[in-house]
Amino acid sequence: MTFNDIFKSSFLENVTSISLFDMTLALILAFGLGMFIFFVYKKTFSGVMYSSGFGVTLVALTMITTLVILAVTSNVVLSLGMVGALSIVRFRAAIKEPLDIAFLFWSIAVGIVLAAGLIPLAVIGSVLIGVFLLIFVNRKSHFNPYIVVLNCTDQDSERRAKEYLETQVTRLVVKSKTVQKGAIELNAEIRLKSDNTDFINTLADMDGVTNAVLVSYNGDYMS
């Protein structure tokens, strides 16, 4: 038995199963599309705190998925073993934004499609998905729910502020009310008639109203 006979079973044969050009091209395309996904994530982020680390994770996840699928497609036996190995992996990172899940699946899908050799599908599909997200995610609508926080000094000022607010919105639902001596805090969910929020300034100038805040559910603050 020679030295080559020892490794001839699998290892040396797998070295040349994927050409260097194919590996390089797949990883370069994975990096480029991963950066595009990162760009779309950065432009469409609407949460409270932006995390650049998550954006870098999207690029790395695209490249890692491409690397894994290249290995899987080159060897059927390896694919079965890798499926078993990956099945025991558990991730504990919490996904706070629902849209982040879409970006994670997008990165994984691009890596899989690229490694399968379907380059036009990966490129065209990513462009269409990116355009869709850029158009619809950052689209502002006055139909979105808002919360109004009013601080009043007495019941009369609260009643006047509430009556005025009802004339300026299409819907008003009181969510909570906190009463202390000389202070009333009212939290109400509203739907705006238009994008104009000047009514909150009028509320703040009313007699007996010490503070008026308009808060959107996506973390944006307006006053």
96-138: per-residue pLDDT in tens? 777 888 888 999 899 888 888 888 998 999 999 999 988 887 6
Residue whose structure tokens are 């996840």 = 61
Please give the structure tokens belonging to residue 196: 């104009």
pLDDT at 127: 92
Same domain, 13 and 102: yes
Same domain, 174 and 94: no
Nearest 5°: the CA angle 190, 215, 202 is: 70
pLDDT at 31: 93
Same domain, 127 and 65: yes
* β partners of residue 183: 180
Same domain, 46 and 119: yes
Same domain, 188 and 83: no
Same domain, 59 and 11: yes
d(CA 35, CA 39): 6
Same domain, 42 and 130: yes
Same domain, 110 and 215: no
pLDDT at 146: 85
pLDDT at 36: 93
How many other β-carbons are positioned within 10 Å of the β-carbon of residue 180?
7
Final residue in a domain of this structure, among 119, 136, 153:
136
Final residue in a domain of this structure, among 136, 161, 190:
136
Same domain, 74 and 173: no
Split into its structural domains, the chain has a count of 2
Final residue in a domain of this structure, among 78, 109, 136:
136
Q: Give the range of the structural domain holding residue 19, as residue numbers without chain letter.
A: 3-136
The CATH number linked to 206 is 3.30.70.260
* φ and ψ of 196, to 5 deg: -75, 125
Q: What is the pLDDT along the chain (223 residues), one digit of tens a residue?
A: 454 544 444 554 555 566 778 788 888 999 999 999 999 998 888 766 677 788 888 899 899 888 888 877 766 555 555 555 555 556 566 677 778 888 889 998 998 888 888 889 989 999 999 999 888 876 655 567 888 888 898 888 888 888 888 888 888 888 888 888 888 898 888 888 877 888 888 888 888 888 888 887 654 444 4
